[in-house]
Amino acid sequence: SPIAPCDFVVFGGTGDLTVRKLLPALYLRDRDGQLPDDTRIIAVSRAGLDAAGYRDKVHGELERFVTSDALDEAVVDRFLRRLEFAGIDAADGSTWEPLTALLPREADRIRVYYLACAPRLFGPISENLAANGLVDQHSRVVLEKPIGHDLESARAINDAVGAVFDESQIFRIDHYLGKESVQNLLVTRFANTVLEPLWNSTSIDHVQITVSEEIGVGSRGEYYDTSGALRDMVQNHLLQVLCLVAMEPPTYVDRESVRDEKLKVLQALKPMTPEDAERDTVAGQYGPGLVNGVAVPGYRDEADNADSRTETFVAVKAEVRNWRWAGVPFYLRTGKRMERRHSEVVIAFNPVPHPMFPGSEGTSEPNRLVIRLQPTEGMRLHMTAKEPGPGGIRLRPVSLDLNYTEVFPHPSPDAYERLLMDVVRGNPTLFMRRDEVEAAWTWVEPILANWARTERVPRRYPAGTDGPVDAVTLIERDGRTWNEGALR
């Protein structure tokens, strides 16, 4: 059903995120009849365009970023007519007239201000919105990650935006929370009873979270080179997934309960001492290599910075210090230009306490539950079975498989489709609250500080591989192994 009357105002209206994700998501919601007839999308940017020029540009981009079977000429036309363009310098209030002219005061109309621009602009844009009388109780502001660069800058942004908007109007996006497979983590845990009694240190040996990407930094080098994988992926996406795996059952799934429980997990993460950071973190950077048989340049070439020390790969051993998880390591890793796009959560259970089958020592692998998040959703439980035969008992690994695309053949909506509609509905459950963002920075900061102090140079790994060998050492020195290839 259609959402309430609203307009979307997108700062960073010609940027990578807007054309690749936001506009395709809004287009698809439009196609499904969810946007009211008078909904407009107002792009704000310094680019020298007018509405007609912007519509032309977006027309071309939709053809690139929306699958052809979802493109319908009549819908595309209707969608393009919704687009307006305000060519202003968002940070300079004296240039705002073209935007304010597009936004006359209208009682009860929801306005979503989507800040898909550099985080240093979040404060100034909020101030300019207020100064121009564009903020009332129907306004919402969406902040794209990264929320700052470290704890201090995150607090400054939260203060500046918070001076204009109430926390209930602020939507900090972590698009991983909008992914169907990530939401399903909660359902898998809490809408079933078989797993939860085992979901603790008594039965679980360790947890792995892997988010591997095939793509490199492409044209985002300028942003990425000042960020790196720890800030770009671990501080937000991987820690959010960790929270969903580790949190206690909330009483309800509502706007605060889930976020309260996630916050408790973040607060229970063991703070990294310099020695921990030295021992338990690995930074890597891709060099040239082959991805799917195609030669690709190294990171330093792509980012156009021959001396760059920015990490494109991170592995970390984390610990959640609470009753449920004491002593259970959480191994996290993420990297760009890895062998393939693949994300999974692995719950590695304890080994059997006693090898009772003659000759079975070492042949029975501990059970593993592998929850695949991307590129397709699935779940696999690794078990041990008897190999059929008249001789003695021989053990063989087997698996129970659940492939969601077979069960639910319809394609899932993109994370941004869900999240944008939640913003209009005023539902912040799948967005990060201020305290969560700051708790995540609190944990990440000592790692960054340690890397800076020791002038750590990331280990090189060839593009198209699974990262530096140090990441293997990180887990193998504990007598454990990454879940390599289990789902290939």
Query: Which residues are known catalytic residues?
Result: 237
Q: Which is nearer to ligand BG6, 188 or 236 (CB)?
A: 236
Rama region for 410: left / alpha / beta (φ>0; ψ in -120 to 50; rest)? beta
Q: Shortest Cβ distance from residue 414 to ligand BG6 (Å)?
A: 9
Cα separation, 354 vs 374, in Å, equals 36
**160: helix, strand or coil:** helix
Rounded Cα gap, residues 355 and 363, in angstroms: 9
Rounded (10°) CA dihedral 315, 320, 326, 332: -20
> In whole angstroms, how close is the CB of 453 to ligand BG6 at the nearest point?
26
Instruction: Please state the closest distance from residue 334 (CB atom) to ligand BG6, in A.
Output: 9
Nearer to ligand BG6, 87 or 146 (CB): 146
State in angstroms the smallest separation of the CB of 108 from ligand BG6: 34
Amino acid at 157: I
Closest CA to 424 of 114, 44, 158: 114
Whose Cβ is closer to ligand BG6: residue 266's or residue 338's?
338
Contacts of 482 (CB under 8 A, 6+ apart): 208, 210, 331, 333, 466, 471, 472, 475
Please say which residue, 213 or 302, places its beta carbon nearer to ligand BG6.
213
Binding stretches for ligand BG6 (CB under 6 A): 213, 232, 374
Where are the alpha helices (H) located in 426-476, listed in sequence order? 434-453, 469-476
Judged by beta carbon, residue 82 or residue 418, the one nearer ligand BG6 is 418
The strand pairing partners of 462, in sequence order, are: 287
Structure tokens at 203: 């039965």
- Tell me the closest approach of the beta carbon of residue 25 to ligand BG6, in angstroms: 12
Residue spans of alpha helices (H) in 95-238:
97-102, 122-131, 151-162, 180-190, 221-224, 229
Least CB distance to ligand BG6 at residue 420 (A):
15
213 versus 339: smaller Cβ distance to ligand BG6 = 213
Q: Are strands 41-45 and 83-87 parallel, antiparallel or unpaired?
A: parallel
Determine how many CB atoms are found less than 10 A away from the CB of residue 33: 10
Q: Using CA atoms, how far apart are residues 225 and 487, in angstroms rounded to an integer?
A: 32
Q: Which residues, other chains included, contact 1 with Cβ-Cβ below 8 Å and sequence gap of 6+?
A: 34
CB-nearest residue to ligand BG6: 232
User: How far apart are CB 8 and ligand BG6 at their closest, in Å?
Assistant: 20
Q: Which is nearer to ligand BG6, 213 or 344 (CB)?
A: 213
Min separation Cβ 233 and ligand BG6, Å? 6
- Residues 6 or more apart in contact with residue 122 via CB below 8 angstroms: 115, 143, 147, 157, 160, 161
Cα–Cα distance between 472 and 488 in angstroms, integer? 19
SS3 state at 271: coil
Residue 188 structure tokens: 């898998």
Nearest of 63, 56, 104 to residue 80 by alpha carbon: 56
**DSSP characters for 397-434?**
EEEEEEEHHHHS-SPPPPHHHHHHHHHHHT--TTSB-H
Identify which of residues 218 and 249 has a Cβ nearer to ligand BG6 in the complex: 218
- Smallest gap from Cβ 374 to ligand BG6, in A, equals 6
169 versus 236: smaller Cβ distance to ligand BG6: 236
CA distances from 235 to 232, 240, 286, 463 (A): 7, 8, 20, 23
Let me know: does 151 contact 445? Beta carbons within 8 Å. Answer: yes
